[in-house]
Amino acid sequence: MDYVYAPGKNHLFVPGPVNIPEPVLRAMNRNNEDYRSPAIPALTKTLLEDVKKIFKSTTGTTFLIPTTGTGAWESALTNTLSPGDRIVSFLIGQFSLLWIDQQQRLNFNVDVVESEWGQGANLDVLESKLAVDSGHTIKAICIVHNETATGVTNDLSKVRFLLDKYKHPALLLVDGVSSICALDFRMDEWGVDVALTGSQKALSLPTGLGIICASPKALEASKTSTSVKVFFDWKDYLKFYNLGTYWPYTPSIQLLYGLRAALDLLFEEGLDNVIARHSRLGKATRLAVEAWGLKNCTQKEEWFSDTVTAVLVPSYIDSSEIVRRAWKRYNLSLGLGLNKVAGKVFRIGHLGNLNELQLLGCLAGVEMILKDVGYPVKLGSGVAAASAYLQNNIPLIPSRI
């Protein structure tokens, strides 16, 4: 069943799904259980509580929905908004594009603010819209924290600043799929109303859980939302929360235990240390890209992403060939360029349960592939640049001091 065996580890550097740590694999290696026995509710209770911490929220209500990020998007929208509601939404890459497509198909009135791919959300336009919206026709701002297609991180604190500046009551809905558990994310401080991620991203689990945190304001909004939904309806969850049985339908027993293990690892490392690690990995990757003489798809430093780097290749190279070759020759999985940047960028995902030497192995691989496809890279140059930074910045492993 392993159609494409290759010796050694697969070097998984797509921006999701990401590497699952062994303790999590172990925790999930189990038979099914009756989810109506006392054990699963007891476990669920700890999860719903502890998962708030990855959002840095104490006031939120969390949902663990058996779905993907796409389902989590749908859940966020249909529970808080009603058809026809005006949304301001930022189009800055393939994933914000897909979310906007969903918003439109769900019959919201989407006010799209587009940026060139490689740029962040245009918050000036947001400000201008807020400034004139004294009637509060804008019901929600939808924004991806980190656009996975281009490696762009948006400044959410600024969005909050603008909403506050204009005393605007719009909900703030955030796609944190490729940010939460990896980038600095502050649900309560930034006044995010719904934040969401998927289990296969920085949490380093298999796909299968859409993880959502809703503010009290979002919950309040959900009471009057008229969007049609059943599977994604928070009300069904809340009803079972009140009953203490937690599940309106059957959860994945394995993912619940896996999530418990994943959270335990995150808390053992310390969420701030996890974020610092991603910061090191992102910086090291960018230094390598620079050393190779290549450009980052992300156009300004303020938007640099610490979870994924999209690398622009010279026009005489097809970036898809880099991805193909990585897989066929080096057992390395890189991310393709998508849509507008197809053929133009390849992506290095550096999120989740990953360490520096894994990244350096990947960077060494990318160098060889660049040479394979005819780009005049100096072998070792990216690794040297990344190492120089890392050697000064990697801390001792706390459990081993």
Interface segment toward a copy of itself; rule CB under 8 A; list 56-64, 162-170, 217-225, 371-379:
371-379
Q: What is the Cα–Cα distance from 33 to 42, expressed in whole angstroms?
A: 13
Total residues at interface with a copy of itself (CB under 8 A): 121
- Footprint (CB under 8 A) of a copy of itself, residues 108-137: none
* CA–CA gap between residue 327 and residue 232 (Å, rounded): 37
Taking CB under 8 A as the binding criterion, the range among 142-150, 206-214, 215-223, 298-306 that sits at the site for a copy of itself is: 206-214
CA distances from 115 to 90, 129, 274, 377 (A): 8, 15, 30, 31
- Which amino acid is present at 319? S
| Rounded distance between C-alpha atoms, residue 46 and residue 252, angstroms | 16
Going residue by residue from 301 to 340, which x/- string records binding to a copy of itself, judged by CB under 8 A?
--------------------------xxxxxxx-xx----
Nearest distance in Å: CB 285, a copy of itself: 13
- Backbone region of residue 389 per phi and psi (left: phi > 0; alpha: psi in -120 to 50; beta: other values): alpha
Q: Which of 7, 242, 272, 301 is close enough to bind a copy of itself by CB under 8 A?
A: 7
Q: Which listed range, 53-61, 103-111, 160-168, 305-313, lies at the site for a copy of itself (CB under 8 A)?
A: 103-111
Q: Per-residue contact track with a copy of itself, 253 to 282, x per CB under 8 A?
A: xxx-x--xx---x--xx----x--x-----
Q: For residues 230 and 272, which CB has a smaller minimum distance to a copy of itself in the complex?
A: 230
What is the smallest separation between the CB atom of 322 and a copy of itself, expressed in angstroms?
Answer: 14
Write the interaction track for a copy of itself spanning residues 146-185; mark x where CB under 8 A is met and - where it is not.
Answer: ----------------------------------------
* Cβ 150 to a copy of itself shortest distance, Å: 17
